[in-house]
Amino acid sequence: MIQESIRNQITFSQIAAAEGLKAGLQITPEALIDQVRESGIRGRGGAGFPTGLKWAFTAAEKSDKKYVICNADEGEPGTFKDRVIFENWADLVFDGMALAGYAIGADEGIVYLRAEYTFLREKLEKCLAERRKKVLLGENCLGMKGFNFDIHIHMGSGAYVCGEETALIEALEGKRGEARNRPPFPAASGYLGKPTLVNNVETFAWIATIMVKGSDWFRGLGTEKSSGLKLFSISGDVESPGVYEFPMGISVNQLLTEVGGRGAKAVQIGGASGTCVPSAEFDRAIAYEDVATGGSIIVFGQQRDLLDVAENFLEFFEDESCGQCTPCRIGNSKLLEGVRLLKKGECSAKYLNELCKLAETMQIASKCGLGQSSPNAFLSIVKHFRKEIFNREPVAV
């Protein structure tokens, strides 16, 4: 019942199953990590940590047991590219995971698949079974003696915060998905206390692709600080919503032209935890050095009330906060109350300033990325749409 989401040419279509894995296993683990590093790829899940560095850290840990985890919790509002990757190129993700296992010295891979994607599970299990038959998984994988990498799927149970890597590990361990203090980082002590590498679905697929097309090819695309290509999930007020591949560094304007979203009032980049970019700033670049995103782009047409948007996002965060720390648990409720006052035209300028200060405190004092980024949309909307926010008729209730 899902329709096709792919809207332009996607490089993954050019890569055959196992092609990247075969190429990667021909070089040493060290050389493989160097290739990843040289490509300049940064994590495609949102935080943008350099992947090669993460692999090198995890590889350097001495341990009898290590884990490779594929983060398929994809819960950021507005993102669906990981679903599309699994629907179309699951083999590339599993190739990337096996490459990671080879590089860091792990024999167990786990896909943490969100509960909402249970409908994908059967297909993925079939794909894994096929791979075992072809010895692309399991004992002496691809004929390499002693390389026994296998993958299993662990279903999520519905909690956005479990996309945060330490909360995800807690969930895998059978606990509430409450983020851990870091350090220690998962690279040193992750699942069951063992060194653990967590990467996004798309990151793994790109690694398999880079092994085929080369790190220079990847590095040559995008910008200097944000190399390569990326999948974007486009929704909202556009003519052709769906998944697109673009080079990193594309401007908001260019992107809107490609997807049929010209004339937009604002664009939310990075999902509910991202920022709201007003039309005056549509020349900005979508890249780690400017506006970063895990790929979620939500377009708002002229008719949209941005306070409705802020309210929807804050309802989301109030609902999804794990409740462990006060700035996030109470802060999101307070911001939500504030937005509802603004909507009714009943918020004083002084109180709005206080809310902004609270929002800034949340960014600093929250324990994990959820609370740290949940005020971003609110702050950017207040900053760029002050006139609209204050120009409201008091509503009779």
Partner 1 sequence: MLISQHEQTLDQLQGLVEKHGDQRNALIPILQDFRDQSGQITDYAMQAVANLLKIEPSEVYGVVSFYSFLSERPQGNFVIRLCRTISCDMAGKQAVARQLENDLGITFGETTKDGRFSLEWANCMGVCDQGPAMLVNETLYTKVSPEKVGEILDSFKSRA
Are residues 129 and 98 in contact, defined by beta-carbon separation less than 8 angstroms?
Answer: no
Which CA distances in Å does 294 have to 109, 136, 234? 22, 29, 12
Distance in Å, CB of 274 to partner 1, minimum: 12
Q: Which of 168, 169, 179, 211 binds ligand SF4 (CB under 6 A)?
A: 179
200 binds, among partner 1, ligand FMN, ligand SF4, none (CB under 5 to 8 A by kind): ligand FMN
Q: Segment 325-364, which members bind ligand SF4 (CB under 6 A)?
A: 325, 328-329
- Residue from 15, 41, 110, 370 touching ligand SF4 (CB under 6 A): that is 370
Query: d(Cα 314, Cα 306) in Å, to the nearest integer?
Result: 12
Determine, following the binding rule CB under 6 A, whether residue 321 of this chain makes contact with ligand SF4: yes
Question: Tokens 């799927």 identify what position?
Answer: 153
Among 367, 373, 381, 385, binds ligand SF4 (CB under 6 A): 367
Decide if residue 242 touches ligand FMN (CB under 6 A): no
Q: How far apart are CA 284 and CA 17, in angstroms?
A: 36
Q: Residue from 104, 231, 243, 276 that binds partner 1 (CB under 8 A)?
A: 243
* 321 interface partner picked from ligand FMN, partner 1, ligand SF4, none, CB below 5 to 8 A per type: ligand SF4
The residue assigned the tokens 């769906």 is: 242
Binding residue for ligand FMN, selected from 24, 75, 138, 177, defined by CB under 6 A: 75
Stretch that binds ligand SF4, among 39-47, 201-209, 227-235, 315-323 (CB under 6 A): 315-323
Q: Supply 327's token pair.
A: 């700035």
- Residue 166 as a binder of partner 1 (CB under 8 A): the answer is no
Considering only 6, 27, 47, 285, the residue that binds ligand FMN (CB under 6 A) is 47
Find the angle CA(84)-CA(90)-CA(95) to the nearest 5 degrees. Answer: 140
Q: How far apart are CA 220 and CA 217, in angstroms?
A: 5
Q: How far apart are CA 163 and CA 381, in angstroms?
A: 25
Which tokens hold the place of 51? Answer: 């992947």
The DSSP secondary-structure symbol of 396 reads P
Tokens 């691809």 sit on residue: 142
Helix, strand or coil, per DSSP, at residue 144? coil
- The binding site for partner 1 (CB under 8 A) comprises 1-3, 5, 74-80, 82-83, 114-119, 154-160, 171-177, 192, 233-237, 241-243, 268, 272, 298, 300, 304, 308-309, 312-313, 315-316, 319-320, 322
